[in-house]
Amino acid sequence: MRTPLASAFGNPAVRQYALVTANYWAFTLTDGALRMLVVLHFHRLGYTPLQIAMLFVFYEVFGVVTNLVGGWLGARIGLNRTMNVGLALQVAALSMLLVPAAALTVPWVMAAQAMSGVAKDLNKMSAKSSIKLLLPGDAQGTLYRWVAALTGSKNALKGVGFFLGGALLGAVGFRPAVAAMAGALALVWLASLALLRRDLGKAKAKPKFRDVLSKSRAVNVLSAARLFLFGARDVWFVVALPVFLAQTLGWDFWQVGGFLAAWVVGYGAVQAAAPWITGLRRGAMPDGRSAVAWALPLAAAPAAIALALANGMSPSLALVAGLTVFGVLFAVNSALHSYLIVSVAAEDGVSLDVGFYYMANALGRLLGTLLSGWVYQRAGLGACLWISAALVAAAALVSLALPRHPRGAPG
């Protein structure tokens, strides 16, 4: 007698979803660990916050280009191929960091991060786009749950990666940690080459390169809101917060990595639960009104943390409490956006719309990364938090133009 689990994995769509998710999980684990390794390793070497931020500039710049071109490429050659290329490039990027310490110069690390940025966004675009193709168009409730589960579990694994990066740096050092991750990811890549469906996501009509720019008003508005949303997160999260914890509060690598890991794991868990938090059990599907309603309280969270720090509250207490609230609200906002883009994207050549949207996401990360290093160095963590509040408010304002009733119904 077949169990429900065996029956589910007998479904080809479920098997492909599991493969896509496993690829995304493995990639995300190495990506989170690498981010923490680079930040803490170069902080230990005496680099300033702005210099550390500059190490990630090419990561974000190439992410912008990759999402724009990768969506077009996925529609032409298939999402299985773009996902596998992303895995291979991440192995190559990790391998670049295995050179002797004397050769680990800023330009070399920036080049490795550029390759990692290309890899990350090829992988993300492929994973998010493929989900729409594995479900019928009227199964919007199931689509919301699958997107939330993929996104939430990915971010939980990214949090584990942050902890892993800090722990490995303290336990074995930079190069052995990177070597172990490169070897493990190479095995995942080989398995993906053998198992992932060959024609996944290939458009019926070969799109022209000019099609990379979205013609959908809903996609364009949602992309603008996403840019502001992720700029608001990364303006304090990428450089300012880990450096503040290590430099001002005196936390060691294990503590910094553990705190950021716990935050991101909790954030991922909330994302996975977002369909229930936003009322899917009552048959309520999110729309533009939902995006505005959840963005407004999010804008207040970093402002409240900044006020608490300015008025003498214990920095540890203010950050732990405030970032817990911010994480919950941000997770719901991010999950709503992730569902909406997959919902409104055109089915044929879905990766074009999703790629354009994540191009805006990467632009937001680039903006946040640059501001995180520069503003923190010039004005401190409080200023980063005020800018975060302003950027979330801008996302809420843009979201007023989103459609109120996405097509489809719970399924």
Report residue 277's pLDDT band, with 50, 70 and 90 as the boundaries.
Answer: confident
Residues 100-144: tens digit of each pLDDT? 888 878 888 888 888 888 888 788 777 767 776 666 655 667 777
For residue 348, what are the CA distances in angstroms to 69, 121, 135, 205, 351? 17, 20, 13, 8, 9
**Do the Cβ atoms of 18 and 153 come closer than 8 Å?**
no
Residues 19-48: tens digit of each pLDDT? 777 888 888 888 888 888 888 888 788 888
Query: What is the SS3 assignment for 313?
Result: coil
d(CA 338, CA 15): 22
Residues 306-365: tens digit of each pLDDT? 999 999 899 989 988 998 899 999 999 988 888 888 777 665 556 677 778 878 888 898
Query: Per-residue DSSP letters for 323-382?
Result: HHHHHHHHHHHHHHHHHHHHHHS-STTHHHHHHHHHHHHHHHHHHHHHHHHHHHHHH-HH
The listed range with the strongest mean pLDDT (15-24, 208-217, 305-314) is 305-314
Residues 145-185: tens digit of each pLDDT? 777 777 777 777 877 888 888 888 888 888 898 898 899 99
**Do the Cβ atoms of 267 and 331 come closer than 8 Å?**
yes
- What is the CB neighbour count within 10 angstroms for residue 316? 12
Contacts of 404 (CB under 8 A, 6+ apart): 287, 288, 289
| pLDDT value at residue 134 | 64
| pLDDT value at residue 410 | 39
Residue 304 in this model has a pLDDT that exceeds 60? yes
Residue 407 in this model has a pLDDT that exceeds 50? no
For the chain, what percent of residues have pLDDT higher than 70?
83
| pLDDT value at residue 283 | 64
| pLDDT value at residue 126 | 75
Residue 409 in this model has a pLDDT that exceeds 50? no
DSSP state of 135: S
179-198 in b/e burial notation, b at 16+ Cβ within 10 A?
Answer: ebbbeebbebbeebeeebbe
Average pLDDT over residues 268-275: 85
Average pLDDT over residues 286-313: 90
| pLDDT value at residue 6 | 41
Give the range among 116-120, 195-199, 291-295, 383-387 with minimum mean pLDDT.
Answer: 195-199
Q: Which domains does the chain have, with CATH numbers?
A: 9-399 (1.20.1250.20)
- What is the CB neighbour count within 10 angstroms for residue 374? 18
Residue 408 in this model has a pLDDT that exceeds 50? no
Report residue 77's pLDDT band, with 50, 70 and 90 as the boundaries.
Answer: confident
| pLDDT value at residue 305 | 94
| pLDDT value at residue 124 | 76
Residue 257 in this model has a pLDDT that exceeds 60? yes
Give the range among 62-71, 116-125, 251-260, 348-357 with minimum mean pLDDT.
Answer: 348-357
Mean pLDDT of all residues in the chain?
Answer: 80
